[in-house]
Amino acid sequence: MIDDIFCKIIKGELKAEAVYKDAEFWVIKDINPQAPVHLLIIPVKHFESIHEVTDKDASLLGRGLMVADKVAHDLDLGDKGYRLIINEGEDGGKLVPHFHIHLLGGKKLGPKIVK
């Protein structure tokens, strides 16, 4: 795990290239893109994993998917498609301890979900 750089980005302590912001979510370009489009959908409210989400905040997860889909359509990925990925825990490959959704697209990604 590395520091929660996403909280630092949202607080303005670190720079990132944001493509979308609202009161609940920021969408930034991944610093190490794995596809022509590789974005991270990040909730402003800090929580590390889905496991911490309570019923009170459950709708936030759904809104994260809606933000991802909106941004994908804004970037004209809607017709060709895109992939959303959530890494959880060490075996899941999570590096940044702040919940986020990867959005990948801009090419045919193929069937593989791991390298």
Considering beta carbons, is residue 31 or 58 the nearer one to ligand AMP?
31
30-to-6, 57, 59, 96 alpha-carbon distances in Å: 11, 25, 25, 12
Ramachandran area for residue 21 (φ above 0: left; ψ -120 to 50: alpha; else beta): beta
Catalytic annotation present for 100 = yes
Rounded to a whole number of angstroms, the minimum distance from the CB of residue 28 to ligand AMP is 5
Which DSSP helix (H) or strand (E) runs through 67? helix 58-74
Considering beta carbons, is residue 83 or 94 the nearer one to ligand AMP?
94
Rounded to a whole number of angstroms, the minimum distance from the CB of residue 7 to ligand AMP is 12
Residues near ligand AMP (CB under 6 A) are: 5, 14, 16, 28, 30-32, 40, 87, 93-96
- Cβ neighbours of residue 111 under 8 Å, at least 6 residues apart? none
Rounded to a whole number of angstroms, the minimum distance from the CB of residue 22 to ligand AMP is 18
Active-site option among 46, 73, 98, 100: 100
Q: Annotated active-site positions, please? A: 100
